[in-house]
Structures are given as structure tokens and as C-alpha cells.
Structure 1
Amino acid sequence: MNANDDVSISSAPRGFRRVAPAFALFFLSPFVAEMLLGDFAIDAIWIVLVVGPLYGGGAVIVRETARRLGRGWATLLLLALAYGIFEEGIVIQTLFNPNYLGLHLLRHGYVPALGMSAWWTPFVLTLHTVWSISVPIAIVEALFPERRTQPWLGRIGLGISAGLMIGGALLVHGATRKQDPFTASNVQLVSTWIVLALVVILALRCRPKATRPAGAVPGVWVMGALALLWGLGFMSVNRLVQDWLLAGAQWALDLVGFVLLVVFARRAAWTPLHTVAVAGGAMLAYACHGFPQEPVAGSKGVIDLVGNTLFAIVAVVLLVLAARKERALTSASHAP
């Protein structure tokens, strides 16, 4: 971003400048969640109009709730997990549907007593927690670093975001039921709501510590590379192993990623640039996965390849801009 870009942003109407980060997050979330992943080919980008309000509204609500309460990434991640439970357990119900879109998602690690898969459940909830919600939030907060911990919306904007999320949820639920009339049992739905509520309560109880312990933290480039490798491994392991071994591999990858992130991110040496690096590495893993991924909607072949290339370029550009903004703010804060 050059000086002319900064002038153009600063000369924009004050109201728009105040809500610009929320707009950016609203559109980036569905882009990362579906387009960058490779689920939709570029000629099916119109589907974002259907799923966009659910993803975008959800991401904005998660971020604004955490920041309005003065909470940090522990709350953000748990609220992102709650969003994943809401979408996959209540709205689309893939956690319980044995034949969603004919994909047989529950066949690996199936647990008959729960009607769920020990592989699909952690896999899809991690997708939403990390990529659908947390990665877009981290990137947009880095694009607007001066307002990283500030609320972006007032009460009206927050209400509109909630309305968009709820409306999007109803729209996606209706479209899903039209394709597949499956409905989870009452016990499954009630249990899902209870688990969702418990996760939200836990999220709201997490408070940032006043002091952070000392300790070494890997460099920014190292953390980005680790996030990229972890993301590629997480997205690729289902191509290598099957059944209960697959379920065990997904749980192990989740545990390793969680432990490493907690160990390093809680230390005083952790900086916002580390957060950008981790989010960027994960985002690039999604971009790489999009190329071999066959789209569930839209054309395959050359059109899909062109779309994946354009989406990957957008991801790289956003990551570079975010890193530059963070570096500029860091340099300014260290200047005499």
C-alpha cells in the first residue's frame, strides 16, 4: 500500500472508514471458506451470495463480541468453534447426515451411539474455527492494525450483522433441505445447542492475562512455515489414511497445532506479526489445497484452474499488504 492509497482511504467518508474493516471481514470470510478452499469454481462465485451472509455475518459477530468485551484470541477461537458447531450441527447438519451430497462424510470413524464421525467432526469444526473465521479476522485486523482491538461497529451495525447471519442461516438451511430432506434427531439437535452454549460460556470466561511469561518464540518466517506445513498436512491426511487411523490422525494434528500455538502465543515475545504469519501460512495452505480439490459447484478443468490461480493471487496480495501494515505500525511505534 503506497501513500496514495493511504490518502484515498483517509479521504473517504468518516462513516465508511469506521466500518470499512467490518465490510472487509464480511467478504473475506466466505472467500476464504469456500472460494480459496476450492469448493466453488470461479463460474459458481454467485453461490457466495447465498452462503456469504452466514459466513460474513458470523465472522463479524465473533470478532465484535470478543473485542467489545476486551477479550483476546482465546475467546475469538472458542467463539469461532461455536460458529462451526452452529453451521455444521444446526444449519447444515453434516455432523449427523450420513449421506450429505452423496459424500458419505460419516463413514470413517463412525460412532453409532452418537450418529457422528470421529473424523468428520474434528475435521469440519477445525475448518470453520481456523479458516472460515479466525484466519479472516487475523488478516483484516492486520490490514487495520491501529484498530486491531477496537470495536468496528455500533449497535445498529452489530444488529445488522446478526440479522444477516440469521437470515443467511435460514437461507442455507432451506437450500440444504431442498437438496436433502435429512433432519437430525431431536436428541442430536438439543445436544448440539447445549454444547454450543457451553462453548460460548467458556469463551466469555476467558480473560487476557495482565502479564505474559518470558520465553523464546520462533521467528515470524518460521511460524508462517510451520502454519503452512500444518495446514497442508491437515488438509491432506484424509488422502493418505482411512477409517479410525484417519480419525486419530486428525485429532493428533489438532492437538499438535493447538499445543504449539498456546505455548508460543502466550509468551511476551509473541507479536502481531507472528499472528499474521500463522494466519497467512494457514491461508496459503488453503490456496494450495484448492488446486487438487474438485469443486462441488461450477466447472472443472481449465476454468477451475484459472479461478484457483486468481484466488491464490488475491490471498498472497492480502497477506503481503497485511504484513506491510503490521511492519509499518511496529516501526512507527519504535521510532523515537
Structure 2
Amino acid sequence: MKKFGLLPKLLIGIVLGIIIGSTGIEWLTRIFVTFSGIFGNFLGYIIPLLIIGFVAPGIAELGQKAGKLLGITAGIAYLSTISAGILAFVVSALILPGIIAGGDVAGGGQTISAFFEIQMLPIMGVMTALVTAFLLGLGMAAIKEKTIFNFMREFQEIINKVIVNIIIPLLPLHILGIFARMAYTGEVARTLAVFSRVIILVLGVHLAFILIQYLIAGAFTGINPFAAIKNMIPAYFTAIGTQSSAATIPVTVRTTKLNGVTDEVADFAVPLCATIHLAGSTITLTICALAVMALEGSIAGFSTVLPFIMMLGVTMVAAPGVPGGAIMAALGLLETMLGFNEPQLALMMAIYIAQDSFGTAANVTGDGAIALIVNKIARR
């Protein structure tokens, strides 16, 4: 099983969960429901620590990097991420009501509960953690001392190991428990049918936004946008395999240079964007979040979703370079800003990770478009 990727493990967990829940054996289903409840509480505990561990050092590193191009590149990357989220909201508002009807996951009347619960209260709220992370990050950048920064980097490494060695390996069992409960209560069939349509919608918006990015870059720089996209194809497919923007940096840099970007700009812009530009991930999170809400019979308005999108662009800064890193960083926002409960968060994790590689591919391909724009600005 160690040789399996996360996605195959998740799929196995979903299938086993459906089988176990469908048997109707209450005690067996309750075992996994109990584990899922405990794991969900642990996630709630770790979320504030994750936000501090990754956002604070990420902001500090941005602040410690000098140069005019830093601000320009970061600004363009953030604008791209926010624009991607807005496009995802518009598409969702137009299409989701036609493919998802409220009550699509209505159960068959049966209920099931855990054998017991273990409460793990977080040491602080999510918004408190965000404010703390901003304060520490900006403070570390301002004082330019290394003591606290080095401590935060080590703390970041601890949280990263928790994600890699505990959360990610146990996540398939968590998903198994969620789907076992859904199968037992009769919710699972319609949920899977809905999410298969949502995945297709997400991929379509990914490709559309990549085209938009390169049309804008082409208009600004005078290059052929379709030729530029063609040159970026190796980076796109490498990202599908690695599921990590950071791991794809060497290929992204090389393909970006094929589009005429200078070595200096490519070597600077691509690694930076691999950390702060997450347009593809934002598209996925926004559409999937609205789809989960639509299953409950409502879709949030733009005034509710826009702040969520804007905060995503910050909280995902320096998200760990592991599969599903963006969704881990976004769990707190989903809970506090959109009111998601534990089953909804579990569904979000399952649907996000099921296509995480394509979101990463959209991220890195967009990095090439940003590098083109920054390259043009640098030449002025």
C-alpha cells in the first residue's frame, strides 16, 4: 500500500466504505464512523497550528525578499488567484443549479452514531490563528532577525511531518468512515453521481482559465498564446504526476524559458509563483465548496464567497508541497466563513484530492503566463 498514491488509496477507501455501509451491519459501520469522528476532531485541533505554521513563515519570506519585481509578481499572482475564484463562482452560479438539486443527498431515514467521541479543542480559533500568523509574518519581515524565523520554520516542518505522516496516511480511513455512514443512511449514490459532474465542470473551468491567462499574456507581450500554451504542456503533465507545484519547478522553469522569458526572470518568478499562485486550486475549492452547499439546498451569494476567495489567496501561501496541501490550508476557512460541518469537510477533502493533480497542473501552467508578463515589465 505504501507504493500506492493518495488518490488510489482514497478510491479504495470510498469503495470499501460504500461496501461496509451497504451491508447494513451496524456495529461494523460504527467502528469506522467512530474513527472518522476522532480523526475529524484531530483535524479541527491541527487547523489553527497549520495556519500559523505555514502562513507566518510564508509572509516573512515574501517580506524578506527585496526588489521591485517581488511586489509586481506577487500582485499579479494574487490577482490571478482571485480572478480564478470569481470565474469559478460565476460558472457555479450558472451551472450548478442545473446539475444539483437541493436534497440530492437526502438519506433513507436510518441514522448511525459513533461508539464514543474524543474531544480535542483547538488552542485558538481559526480567525485568531490567521491574525496571529499575519502579525508574526509581518513582524519577522520587519525586524529582519532570524531567531523567531528559524523557530517558525522548524515549527512549519513539525506541522508538515504531521500532515505527511499522520493526516495523509489516515485520510483514506477517514473518508472510508464518512462513506460508510453515507451508504448506511442511503446518501451515497446520489452524492457520487453529483460529484462526477462537478469534477467535469472543474476541469473545464481549469482549461478555460489557462486560455484566458495566456490570451492576456499574449496581448500584453505580443507572443502567440497558443504556441506558449503548447510549450508549457510538459510542465502541465509533470504536475499531474507530481501533484506538487514545488516538485514541478525545474520543468516549469525550462518550459517558461522556451517562451522567451529570460533566465533571471524565470529563475525568480517560477519558484515564487509555485508558492503563491494557486489559481487552479482556488477554482477547485470554490466550485466544490459551492457544490457541497448546493447539496444542502442553497448556494452562497457573491458577497459571502468573495471574502472566502480573497482569504484563500492568503491562507494557501506556502501550502505544504504534499498532495492535498491546499485543501488542508483551506479547511479552517470552509468551517468559519462558509459554515461547513465535519461531513461536509470530509466530502470537500475527497472531491478535492480526487482531482488535485489537475489543479496543480493549472497552477504551474499559469505560472508561465505570469512569468511572461513579468518578463515584459522587467525589460522596460
Q: TM-score range by the shorter chain?
A: under 0.3
TM-score normalized with structure 2 length? 0.23
- State TM-score, norm by structure 1: 0.25
Which of the two has greater helix per residue?
Answer: 2
Structure showing greater radius of gyration is 2
